[in-house]
């Protein structure tokens, strides 16, 4: 990632390759924590990293 402590939806999408619609879906489902400042939605970099770390590895099935 980068040195930012928070990311916009656009930043998250650009950084991860996850589309904006999917990012909003993950937020709505409570899977990706987000914060609001005015009308802007931000995601803390540490929350994004934690979310990504919890994803299963490709090609591996959970036990």
Sequential DSSP letters for 15-61: HH---HHHHHHHHHTTSS--EEETTEEEEEHHHHHHHHHHSPPTT--
Domain assignment present for 35 = yes
Domain assignment present for 33 = yes
Domain assignment present for 30 = yes
Contact status, residue 55 vs residue 63, Cβ threshold 8 Å = no
Domain assignment present for 25 = yes
CATH number of 31's domain? 3.90.105
Domain assignment present for 59 = no
The total number of structural domains that make up the chain: 1
Domain assignment present for 45 = yes
Domain assignment present for 61 = no
Residue 59: what pLDDT? 84
Domain assignment present for 60 = no
Residue 62: what pLDDT? 63
pLDDT in tens, 11-30: 999 999 999 999 999 999 99
pLDDT in tens, 38-55: 999 999 999 999 999 999
Q: What is the pTM of this model?
A: 0.84
């Amino acid at each position: 990632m980068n040195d930012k402590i928070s990311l916009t939806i656009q930043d998250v999408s650009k950084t991860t390759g996850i589309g904006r619609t999917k990012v909003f879906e993950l937020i709505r489902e409570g899977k990706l924590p987000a914060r609001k400042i005015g009308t802007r939605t931000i995601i803390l970099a540490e929350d994004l990293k934690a979310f990504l770390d919890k994803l299963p590895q490709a090609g591996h099935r959970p036990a």
